[in-house]
Structure 1
Amino acid sequence: MDRASVLAGAPFRTALYATVLFALVLFGAGRFAYQRVEIALQQNLEAQILEEQILLHEILRDGGGEALGRAVIELNSPLSSQRHMVGVFDEKGQHLAGNIDLAPDFVGWQVRSSGERSFLGLEDGHLLNASRQDSLQTVVGRSLAPKNQALATLIEGLLLLSIVVLLTTLSLGYVLSRRNLLKLQTIEQTLNRVSLGDMAARLPVSQANDQIDRIAAQVNEHLEQLSALMTTTKSSVVAIAHDLKTPLSHGFMALQQALGKLDRAEDAREELENLESELERLSSVFDTILRISRIETAGAQTYFDNMDLNDAVREMQDTFAAVADEKGQTLVTGPGNSKDVLIWGDHKMLLQLAYNLVKNAIEHCPSGTKIELLADDQDGARRLIIADDGPGVADDLRASIFDPFFRTSSSRSSGGNGLGLALVRAIATRHGARVRAYDNGPGLRVIVSFPKKDKLHDIAA
């Protein structure tokens, strides 16, 4: 059987399974209802017989045997003789009145069948009650036919209702299953398009907002992330090729020049040093790419511990104060908070994050720029902030400065590879933090926001 045939039969099988399950439930409910109705009819019939027995005993007590005989004759009218039975007998079992000829050989309740069978095999008998009082014995009976007919009608109704309900359930189940199957087939076709390279393909989400629609919405979110990742990957590949082409070309030229000088027996030290420099640049790029990849794919928090962001601020001040002075810049640490700004993280990674942010600000800001670095804790939101009053970044480019190999036109002359801020974002993501760039009016403000304390592990109170 091919796959198409299996999918085509899936709605019917699903509806059939649901119908069978519903039929079992309906059968159990019908059987319970039948038993309850049968008990109620039996109790009602017994109550009628007992009422008549009580009436006969009262007539016997008040008017004697003669009055009882007249009452039996009236009760035993031709219209009720088929379904109503009554008889009076003396102490020797002689028939005195009524349409029962033989004296009963029992006291209490008994069912006597007529031997006839009605619909569905129910016997059409009589329920009898025999009682003794003084020297007389009375027997009152009622036909079971009305009870049996009521039960037969109930069974017919239940059967008809079951058929209608089961057919409706089967049809509704088939329709719903068919609709869900079509949605699943659409999901399959869309994912096949994505696997073939159509990253713009998305799953349709109907207004019904059922479980499949909610799953489709989640899949669309993942497809958006995958599409963004693919776009970033393609851009990174192009950027890598573009950025590595220059050092490779320079290195190749230096190698050619060195070989030429060696052929002429000249000193090629300068060209070999240039080649070494270009190779070191290439090695640095690849090392940074590998480091970003390891940070993004790392799982266990092996080297994580409590860390105070104020320590990173002070260390960056000690490291870059002299460098900033040489460029005519001012590096200051803001007031922040006097208390510790604790986070849960890798000490070396976070120092690298702060190092890259300060280095980026110093390299891309002119002389006379003020650069401020601070850590603060506002209502549990810990932040590392670096702000400058330099030229800043255009609004349409600000969101892209953390992408790998992204460089503004003004920064391409600095000799960087565009991976410093990409490493910052990778480290921030590794720590569950969010890094954003804002206009500082003038200049640029970069804020790294770490998770609140109640979302961290093992943070001291």
Structure 2
Amino acid sequence: MRLTELHRTTGFRLATLFLVLFGVIAILLFGYLYREITGFEQERIDDWLVREHVELIREDPNELVARFQHQGLFDPRHQRPFALFDSSGKHLAGGYPGEQPSIPAFDKPFSMRLANLPGHPPGRCIAARLSDGRVALLCQNTRELDHFDEELLHALLSTAMLTLAIGLIGASLIGISAMRRLDAVTASIEEIVAGNLSRRLPVHSKRDDVDRLVGVVNGMLDEIERLMHEVKGVCDAIAHDLRTPLTRMLGALERAQRRAKTEAEYRAAIDDTIVETTGLLRTFNALLRISEIESGVRREGFTNVDLAAVADDVFELYEPTAEDKQIAFDVQRTSAGPLEIQGDPSLLFEALANLVENAIKFAPHGGKVRLTVFRDRTGAGVSVSDDGPGIAPAEQQAVLRRFYRGEASRHTPGSGLGLSLALAVAGMHGMSIRFNDATPGCEVMLYKPNE
């Protein structure tokens, strides 16, 4: 981003907006202060003029000439020029020289230019018409007051200009900082778009709203990277795991084409092909099932589900299978009453059934499997434990990936999708899958924390 585009940045615009708002408030405040200060000085002068006017009216008319002459002697700088004029406007006494000026109003203060004084200074005056027709004029030279007003206005304007300059500089610095952050974010995004999924948006130490947004985006990028790696892993796993059954199918069909001569031999080749095809369809159906669950379309149909009732249904389904393998299979509850959560009963049944099926599959002949429904102070859930070979701690997260087969399960039938499906169901219900060492064996827990 170029400096010519500085005005387009949000930071610069916000800073400028606040500067304008501050400027309007400052202008109103300065205007109020200027008006109050100048008004106070004028009111003070007017009060003095009114008091002098009242005393003048009460004084003996015969003594006015002497008083005005005396006032003139003690006011050589004409700060308070007084004047007494006869009925024709001729100057009689006082420090204000010349003939009577034009008087806009009598007996109340007014402003006028003291034209007969050097420099024609401004003044605030009051005039009184005496009973004998003479006119008394009392004035206050306001040159210093006007100079103070000018200096005050100059100071206010200078302060306003300095504030404006500092504000614009600050807004520019804020805009430049925002531009640099946006440039860094844009460069990171362009690098991510180019294919570097490991790159993340830069986070500063300010921990402001932009950093919060960047943190959310980085979390989204982490999830996207995980999903991309998972998709790549799934594609590789599909290519690897499906190549073997497809190769067997192709080999069996080619052998049947070359060697089979009787109907029974052809039937045997077709049966083998059907078995392999059924396994492939089961794998693809499991993948589609996981995709459906992860899409969340079933979330709209959530109802109150009793985990204890789901566990009882799973126990009832797999009890005969455990008996056939001579495995001691039982169900326990650590708390009485239902354990209700919001969810899909069929999906929860499917997830728990996969865990139980794995436990029975890996439990040794004559071993034991236990299904436990529990609740503690942090949440509730269902655990499945067995005394089989267990899962190594290094593989506990890996077994949740699609098509992953641990060392203990590499030679057992299965597609490696059971735990992936259970994980998808758990994520849809806000649950998690945890592993505990049963010594020997393994305990897999489907856990729902308290909200």
TM-score bracket, shorter-length normalisation: 0.7 to 0.9
Out of 119, 123, 126, the position equivalent to 1:126 is 123
1:423 aligns with 2:418: no
Q: Which residue of 2 aligns with 1:112?
A: 112
Q: Which residue of 2 aligns with 1:85?
A: 81
TM-score (norm 1): 0.85
Q: Secondary structure at the match of 1:416?
A: coil
Q: Please state how far the C-alpha of 1:82 moved relative to its aligned partner.
A: 4.0
Distance in 1 (alpha carbons) for counterparts of 2:138 and 2:400: 100
Distance in 2 (alpha carbons) for counterparts of 1:133 and 1:214: 82
Q: Secondary structure at the match of 2:329?
A: strand
* Residues 53 and 140, structure 1, Cα contact 8 Å, conserved in 2: no
Q: Secondary structure at the match of 1:334?
A: strand
Q: Please state how far the C-alpha of 1:287 moved relative to its aligned partner.
A: 0.5
Distance in 1 (alpha carbons) for counterparts of 2:121 and 2:298: 82
Q: Please state how far the C-alpha of 1:52 moved relative to its aligned partner.
A: 4.7
Q: Secondary structure at the match of 2:375?
A: strand
Q: 1:339 to 1:76 in 2, by over 3 A?
A: farther
Q: Please state how far the C-alpha of 1:238 moved relative to its aligned partner.
A: 1.5
Distance in 2 (alpha carbons) for counterparts of 1:447 and 1:64: 114
Out of 240, 247, 250, the position equivalent to 1:249 is 247
Distance in 1 (alpha carbons) for counterparts of 2:181 and 2:286: 45
Distance in 1 (alpha carbons) for counterparts of 2:288 and 2:16: 58
Q: Please state how far the C-alpha of 1:22 moved relative to its aligned partner.
A: 2.6
Q: Which stretch has the larger CA shift, 388-397 or 65-74?
A: 65-74
Distance in 2 (alpha carbons) for counterparts of 1:276 and 1:65: 138
The number of equivalent residue pairs is 441
* Residues 122 and 141, structure 2, Cα contact 8 Å, conserved in 1: yes
Alignment of 1:28-427 (within 5 A): 29-30=26-27, 32-55=29-52, 57-58=54-55, 61=58, 64-65=60-61, 69-77=65-73, 81-88=77-84, 97-100=93-96, 101-102=99-100, 104=103, 106-113=106-113, 125-131=122-128, 138-261=136-259, 267-299=265-297, 301-379=299-377, 381-427=379-425
Q: 1:115 to 1:168 in 2, by over 3 A?
A: farther
1:11 aligns with 2:6: yes
Q: Secondary structure at the match of 2:191?
A: helix
Q: Please state how far the C-alpha of 1:186 moved relative to its aligned partner.
A: 1.3
Listed one character per residue, the Cα deviations across residues 154-198 of structure 1 (whole Å, up to 9, x for unaligned) are 332233223322222222222221121121111111111112221
TM-score (norm 2): 0.87
Q: Please state how far the C-alpha of 1:262 moved relative to its aligned partner.
A: 5.0
Distance in 2 (alpha carbons) for counterparts of 1:146 and 1:338: 94
* Residues 371 and 389, structure 1, Cα contact 8 Å, conserved in 2: yes
* Residues 50 and 108, structure 2, Cα contact 8 Å, conserved in 1: no
Distance in 2 (alpha carbons) for counterparts of 1:351 and 1:300: 14
* Residues 81 and 99, structure 1, Cα contact 8 Å, conserved in 2: no
Q: Please state how far the C-alpha of 1:387 moved relative to its aligned partner.
A: 1.6
Q: Secondary structure at the match of 1:371?
A: strand
Q: Which stretch has the larger CA shift, 355-364 or 406-415?
A: 406-415
Gaps of 5+ in 1: 117-122, 456-461
Distance in 1 (alpha carbons) for counterparts of 2:165 and 2:154: 17
Q: 1:163 to 1:64 in 2, by over 3 A?
A: same
Distance in 1 (alpha carbons) for counterparts of 2:355 and 2:14: 63
Distance in 1 (alpha carbons) for counterparts of 2:276 and 2:13: 72
Q: Please state how far the C-alpha of 1:48 moved relative to its aligned partner.
A: 2.7
* Residues 114 and 124, structure 1, Cα contact 8 Å, conserved in 2: yes
Distance in 2 (alpha carbons) for counterparts of 1:232 and 1:112: 91
Q: Which stretch has the larger CA shift, 14-23 or 315-324?
A: 14-23
Q: Which stretch has the larger CA shift, 46-55 or 443-452?
A: 46-55
Aligned amino acid, residue 215 of structure 2: A
Distance in 1 (alpha carbons) for counterparts of 2:188 and 2:411: 45
Distance in 1 (alpha carbons) for counterparts of 2:278 and 2:115: 111
* Residues 72 and 97, structure 1, Cα contact 8 Å, conserved in 2: yes
Distance in 2 (alpha carbons) for counterparts of 1:16 and 1:364: 66
Q: 1:205 to 1:16 in 2, by over 3 A?
A: closer
Q: Please state how far the C-alpha of 1:288 moved relative to its aligned partner.
A: 0.4
Q: Which stretch has the larger CA shift, 91-100 or 176-185?
A: 91-100
Q: Secondary structure at the match of 2:42?
A: helix
Q: Secondary structure at the match of 1:207?
A: coil
Aligned amino acid, residue 199 of structure 1: L
Distance in 1 (alpha carbons) for counterparts of 2:293 and 2:13: 52
Distance in 2 (alpha carbons) for counterparts of 1:324 and 1:80: 125
* Residues 329 and 369, structure 2, Cα contact 8 Å, conserved in 1: yes
* Residues 350 and 427, structure 1, Cα contact 8 Å, conserved in 2: yes
Listed one character per residue, the Cα deviations across residues 4-52 of structure 1 (whole Å, up to 9, x for unaligned) are 6xx4422255548854873575256235423532343233233234225
Q: Secondary structure at the match of 1:84?
A: coil
* Residues 68 and 95, structure 2, Cα contact 8 Å, conserved in 1: no
Q: 1:16 to 1:437 in 2, by over 3 A?
A: closer
Distance in 2 (alpha carbons) for counterparts of 1:235 and 1:216: 28
Distance in 2 (alpha carbons) for counterparts of 1:16 and 1:216: 21
Q: 1:81 to 1:176 in 2, by over 3 A?
A: same
Gaps of 5+ in 2: none
Listed one character per residue, the Cα deviations across residues 366-413 of structure 1 (whole Å, up to 9, x for unaligned) are 123221112223347221111223221111111222211111112021
Q: 1:408 to 1:358 in 2, by over 3 A?
A: same
Distance in 2 (alpha carbons) for counterparts of 1:344 and 1:429: 13
Aligned amino acid, residue 73 of structure 1: Q
